[in-house]
Amino acid sequence: MQFNRYIFNQLLRTTLALTSVLVGIIWLFQTIRILELVVNRGAAVGEFLLMSVASMPLWLMITIPISGFTAVNWVFNRILVDRELLVMQSIGLSPLQLAAAPIALGIMLTAFLSFNSVYLLPTSFGIYKDLQFKLRNSIPTILLRERVFIEVVDGMTMFIGARENNDLMKDIFIHDARIDDRVITMTAEYGEFIDRNGTPTLILQNGERSERNSEGLSGAVLLFESHSVTITRTTNQPTKRSFIDINESTIGNLLSPEFAPSPQYYLQRNAEGHYRIASPFLGLGLVLLSAAIILRGQIRRDLWGRRASTNILACVLVIIMVVISRGLVTNNANLWPLLHLSVLIPIILSIWFLRPGNIAKKPPLPNKGIA
């Protein structure tokens, strides 16, 4: 039907626009946190943009259902003001027929959110955490200035005489006191930072190395042509992440007790797993519930404010219901059906409101004198 295609296009465009606005606002707040890595750790622009984009699938799970819900209210309010909705109802279209476009939109949003929840979210968040770990454990070479003593990591101070480019340095002095019972001093003509299996490493050329113990006794001076120095905060600092964040875990891993480090942590992971399965249906539930409240009964402009208020209240109640049920599942894994029921209730209520027997009486076509 041409009318439904027209309404669907309006709903889709409005949803995309609202989602872009909400994601943009969240992105601005996210960049403030990520900029710390750019300023303090010397992250490249590409790394900054990658971290910004990789964090977005997490927020899409929230912004898309809200945008779809708002789009239905916005578009149907506009076509009611233009009297298009009144005309469609006056020719005998049932609430279910008028809701065809919102139903199609809700199914589309749920399909995308399911793909996002199952695949995009864990994959992108894993990229985000890997890059975050790499940057926080990297050496901020951009902060190394000529002829200035800089503590690159706790216990290690470095001095460079000159820099030929971002990586190659000349006239290097290093004071290494990371090990409690000894102090190592190194000098070199040249040096360059490299990444060796995820560990920042300084390659020194044409230099010497001396060592002094806690009693002040010095050992032999070692001359070298090439020498590598691992740059970490402590000598036993891990070079790879040992902890997997909940958001980067797959649904199968979240629901499996064997992947949980402790029974208490399994409850949290189990709740997240069921939430990942259930939450995409909020895209259909909120959109469908909004349309059902608007279209149920006789459509009149003077009732719009009341129905809009009812819509907002219903949306808030659904979100509260989901939050409470998730909290209950976090404390008791056996209550997981409540989480799925909380997103199915608005869908069931909407179907009941839009059932074929619930056909509104045909209102008379509005006269020109009617406001």
Write phi, then psi, for 156 (nearest 5 degrees): -125, 120
Nearest partner of 291 among 357, 347, 361, 365, judged by Cα: 347
Domain boundaries, the chain: 2-136+244-353, 143-230
Q: How many Cα atoms within 13 Å fall on the side-chain side of residue 330? A: 10
> What integer is the mean pLDDT of 125-136?
80
66-89 pLDDT, tens per residue? 999 999 989 888 887 777 776 776
Between residues 20 and 219, the one the model is more confident about: 20
330-353 pLDDT, tens per residue? 888 899 999 999 999 999 998 888
201-246 pLDDT, tens per residue? 889 999 999 888 877 667 778 899 999 888 775 545 555 666 678 8
Helix (H) or strand (E) holding 365: none
Nearest partner of 316 among 279, 341, 346, judged by Cα: 346
What's the pLDDT score for residue 11? 93
What's the pLDDT score for residue 83? 74
What's the pLDDT score for residue 361? 47
Q: How sure is the predictor about 138, in pLDDT bands with cuts at 50, 70 and 90?
A: low
CA distance 192 to 188: 11
What's the pLDDT score for residue 150? 80
Query: The pTM is what?
Result: 0.72
CA distance 99 to 94: 9
Burial of 334 (0-12, 13-18, 19+ CB in 10 A): exposed
